[in-house]
Chain A
Amino acid sequence: MRSDGNQSALAGLLLSMPAFVGLAAFVAMPFLAAVILSCTDAQLNSPLAMRFVGTEQYRRLLSDPMIRRALANNLVFAAVVVPVQTVLALLLAVLLELVPSGKRLFRVLLFLPVVFPMSLIAVVWILLYAPGETGPMNRVLSWLTLGGWEPRDFLRDPQLAFPAIILLSLWQGVGLQMVILSAALSRIPKELYEAAAIDRAGAFAQFRHITLPQLRNPLVFTMLLTTILAFRLFEQVRIMTHGGPGDATRTLLLQAVESAFDLQQIGEASALSVVLFCIVLCISVLQQVLLDEGRRS
C-alpha cells in the first residue's frame, strides 16, 4: 500500500463518492422506499393521506387470481424458454464450431437481434403475427405444413398469445446465449478431445463427457440469467397484448407497472416489486452457489 496513507484515504473516498451517491440515491433508496410503501396504501396524485396497512398488500396479492395468473405465466415462460433456448443455443454453438469458414458471419447474424431494442422487435412481430392467410407467420406455418395450417390470429387467441410471446422472446434471447456458449466452447483445450479420441470415445461420448462438463459454468450462468429475465418479462406483453386476451399474457412486472402507472396504486405495485426482487434474489443466490461449486471442482 501507499505510504502516504492519509492522502490515499482521502483520494479513495473522493473517487468513489459519486458512484456511491448514485447507487444510494437511485438504487438503495428506491428499494427501501419499495419496502416501506408496500406496507401502505399509497396512491399516486391522491389527496388522501397514506395509511400504514401492514402486510395487507401482500395478502391481497396472494389471493388475487390475476396475480396468480401472472406468476404462473412467468413460471411457464421460464420453464419453456430456459430449456428450449439453451438447447437451441448449444446446438447453434456446436454447429458454429464445425463450420470451416464464415464462422464470424454466422455469429454476427445470429447475434443481431440482441442489439435490437425489444420495443422494435415487438412491433415487427405484431406484423409477423398478423391474422389471416397473408400474415407472415401464418404463411410460414402453412408452407411448412404443406398447406395444413389454418390461419390464426395469434395475439388475440387465448391459447396462442402467450406461446407467441415466448417464441419472439426465444428469438431475441438465443443469440446472446449462443455467443457466450460458443466462446466457452472454443476455449476447451483441443488436447481433451484428442485424449478422448485415443481412449476411443465417439462423437457423442466426447460431447457427453468433455463438452458438457467443460461448459458447466457457462451453462449454469446463462440458464439462470434467462430465468431472471423470465421474471422481468414486460415490454413484449405491454406493447403486443397488454396482458390479454383475458389474462393470457399477464406477467408480474406488467401488473406492477399497470397498478402504479395506470391505476396509481403505488402500495400494491411496491409490494409486487418487493416480491419480484425476492424471486430474483433467490435465483441470483442459487446461481452464485452453483457457479462457486463449479469453480471448486
Chain B
Amino acid sequence: MGQGRVELIAVSKAFGARSVVKQVTLQADPGEMLILVGPSGCGKSTLLRMVAGLEQPTNGEIRFDGRSVLDLPPQDRNVAMVFQNYALYPHMTVRENFEFPLRMRRVDSRERAERVASIAEMLALTAVLEEKPRALSGGQRQRVAMGRALVREPSVFLMDEPLSNLDAQLRVALRAEIRQIQRRLGVTTLYVTHDQVEAMTLGDRVAVLRSGELQQVGAPQDVYSKPANAFVASFIGSFGIAFYAAEWKPEIGALQLGTVAAAVPDSVRSDRGSLVVGVRGDALCIATSTGPTTFLAPIEHIELLGSERVLYVRLPFPLWDAKENVAMGSGVAGTVGIRTASGTTAAIGQQLPLEVVPDRLLFFDHAGKALTSG
C-alpha cells in the first residue's frame, strides 16, 4: 500500500463550454487532512470526483505517490469515498454494506468478519450490524458510510460534504469524531465542505476555492489571519467583515479611515495612496476613553450566543464599492460583529465608542489582492 500522497497538477475540468475547475495545483501530504472549501458551485466536488476517478479531468495530471492515476478506474485507485447522501445500499444490512467492498476485493471470510467487527466497534455500530440503513438515525447512517469507506483500508479517503444532511448538534459531535478517527488511522483525507467553520476546525490545511480557481492553501489560522485576497477574508471567519476605502496620508504618517487616523505597518505605506481595509470584529475594541483614535458606531443587530454576545455595528467609514461587502457569514451586510461578554449592557441603536487595533487590520489593493506585510 502506498503512503497516500496526492498531487493535482494544473487540473482543469470543463463540461461542454462550462469550465468548472481551472488550473488547480494542489498537494495533500501522507496522513494529512486537507479541506476543500468554497461556496456552492466553486468546483470542489468536481475536484474530489476527479481524484476518485468518477470524472476525468479535461487537462492536467493527478498523481498518487508520484504515479499518474489518470488511466486507472476508481476501483484500482485504492481510494474510498463518503458521499453527501451516503449512498448506502438500501437493500443490504449494515454488515452487508461493510462486507460489499471486501467481497469485491475477494477478501476471505475470516478476515472479512474481523475487519467488519473492528470497524463496527470503532464506530459504535456493533449493535446495529444486522439492521438495514432505513432503520438507522441520520448520525448512524453517516457513520455506516464512513465505515464502508474505511473498512477496506484505502490509502486515500475522500469525503464529499459528509455532514451537511445532519442537524447542528450532530454535526459538531461527528466533526470531532471524524477528526479523531482520521488521526488514529493516519489516512490521507480530502474533505469537501461549504461550511467554513467545519473547514477551520477539521483541517490540517485548508484550500479555498472560488469559481473553479484555487484562492489560497494554508493552515486554518494562516488563512484566517493572512487571507490572500478579499474573497478569502470574507469567506473565512464567523462574525462578518467589512471593507472600507482608505487613504494613506504621508503628511500625517497614518492611514485616513473616515474620520479616524490609524497607524499601520510599514509594508502598506505604499505610494499608491488609496487602498482597501478589511475590518473584522477582532480588529475593534470598545474604547474606555475618547480620543482622536476613537469613534462612535451604531449597533444594528445583537446575537446572543449563551456565554457571549455579538454586537453588529456599522462603522462610520466609506464602504469599498465591491461585491465582497455583501455579508458572507452571519450579520447584516456592511456590519461587523464584535464579541463581548454577555453581561455587558447594549441595545440596538446605541452608539458604541470604538477603537481600531491596527495590527489586526487587513489590507488589500483595489483589485482585492492582499498587500502582504511580510
- A residues lining the B interface (CB < 8 Å): 3-4
Contacts of A3 in B (CB 8 A): 53-56, 73
Chain A to chain B contacts (Cβ below 8 Å), 6 pairs = A3-B53, A3-B54, A3-B55, A3-B56, A3-B73, A4-B73
The 5 lowest CB-CB distance pairs between A and B, nearest first, are A3-B56, A3-B73, A3-B53, A4-B73, A3-B55
Contacts of B54 in A (CB 8 A): 3
What total count of A-B pairs have CB within 8 Å? Answer: 6
Interface residues on B, range: under 10
- Say how far B46's CB is from chain A's closest CB, in angstroms: 13
A252 CA to B53 CA, complexed, in Å: 59
> Please, what's the 1-or-0 string for B44-71, where 1 marks a CB less than 8 Å from any CB in chain A?
0000000001111000000000000000
Contacts of B73 in A (CB 8 A): 3-4
A47 CA to B48 CA, complexed, in Å: 72
Q: Is the interface of B mostly helix, strand, loop or mixed?
A: loop
Interface residue ranges of B148-171 to A (CB < 8 Å): none
Contacts of A4 in B (CB 8 A): 73
A3 CA to B70 CA, complexed, in Å: 10
Contacts of B53 in A (CB 8 A): 3
Q: Is the interface of A mostly helix, strand, loop or mixed?
A: loop
- Say how far A6's CB is from chain B's closest CB, in angstroms: 13
A3 CA to B54 CA, complexed, in Å: 7
- Say how far A4's CB is from chain B's closest CB, in angstroms: 7
- B residues lining the A interface (CB < 8 Å): 53-56, 73
Closest to A5 in B: B56
A3 CA to B53 CA, complexed, in Å: 8
A250 CA to B54 CA, complexed, in Å: 61
Closest to A1 in B: B55
- Say how far B225's CB is from chain A's closest CB, in angstroms: 41
- Say how far B114's CB is from chain A's closest CB, in angstroms: 34
A3 CA to B69 CA, complexed, in Å: 13
- Say how far B149's CB is from chain A's closest CB, in angstroms: 20
Contacts of B56 in A (CB 8 A): 3
- Say how far A104's CB is from chain B's closest CB, in angstroms: 24
Contacts of B55 in A (CB 8 A): 3
- Say how far B218's CB is from chain A's closest CB, in angstroms: 32
Closest to A4 in B: B73
Closest to B72 in A: A3
Closest to B15 in A: A1
- Say how far B49's CB is from chain A's closest CB, in angstroms: 11
A4 CA to B53 CA, complexed, in Å: 11
A4 CA to B74 CA, complexed, in Å: 11
- Say how far B50's CB is from chain A's closest CB, in angstroms: 10
- Say how far B67's CB is from chain A's closest CB, in angstroms: 18
- Say how far B292's CB is from chain A's closest CB, in angstroms: 62
- Say how far B7's CB is from chain A's closest CB, in angstroms: 20
Closest to B54 in A: A3
A135 CA to B84 CA, complexed, in Å: 68
Closest to B71 in A: A3
- Say how far B203's CB is from chain A's closest CB, in angstroms: 29
A4 CA to B72 CA, complexed, in Å: 10
- Say how far B51's CB is from chain A's closest CB, in angstroms: 13
Closest to A3 in B: B56
- Say how far A277's CB is from chain B's closest CB, in angstroms: 38
A4 CA to B55 CA, complexed, in Å: 10
- Say how far B308's CB is from chain A's closest CB, in angstroms: 39
Closest to B70 in A: A3
- Say how far A153's CB is from chain B's closest CB, in angstroms: 59
Closest to B74 in A: A3
A4 CA to B73 CA, complexed, in Å: 9
A4 CA to B71 CA, complexed, in Å: 10
- Say how far A5's CB is from chain B's closest CB, in angstroms: 9
A119 CA to B273 CA, complexed, in Å: 94
A48 CA to B215 CA, complexed, in Å: 82
A55 CA to B56 CA, complexed, in Å: 57
A262 CA to B53 CA, complexed, in Å: 64
- Say how far B19's CB is from chain A's closest CB, in angstroms: 17
- Say how far B56's CB is from chain A's closest CB, in angstroms: 5
A196 CA to B73 CA, complexed, in Å: 57
A67 CA to B178 CA, complexed, in Å: 76
Closest to B53 in A: A3
A3 CA to B58 CA, complexed, in Å: 12
- Say how far B310's CB is from chain A's closest CB, in angstroms: 36
A3 CA to B75 CA, complexed, in Å: 12
- Say how far B11's CB is from chain A's closest CB, in angstroms: 15
- Say how far B335's CB is from chain A's closest CB, in angstroms: 38
- Say how far B314's CB is from chain A's closest CB, in angstroms: 41
- Say how far B350's CB is from chain A's closest CB, in angstroms: 42
A3 CA to B55 CA, complexed, in Å: 7
- Say how far B227's CB is from chain A's closest CB, in angstroms: 36
A30 CA to B55 CA, complexed, in Å: 44
A221 CA to B73 CA, complexed, in Å: 46
A124 CA to B73 CA, complexed, in Å: 64
- Say how far B86's CB is from chain A's closest CB, in angstroms: 22
A3 CA to B72 CA, complexed, in Å: 10
A4 CA to B54 CA, complexed, in Å: 10
A4 CA to B56 CA, complexed, in Å: 10
- Say how far A54's CB is from chain B's closest CB, in angstroms: 48
A3 CA to B56 CA, complexed, in Å: 7
- Say how far A216's CB is from chain B's closest CB, in angstroms: 32
- Say how far A1's CB is from chain B's closest CB, in angstroms: 8
- Say how far A3's CB is from chain B's closest CB, in angstroms: 5
A4 CA to B76 CA, complexed, in Å: 14
- Say how far A85's CB is from chain B's closest CB, in angstroms: 39
- Say how far A66's CB is from chain B's closest CB, in angstroms: 58
A281 CA to B265 CA, complexed, in Å: 78
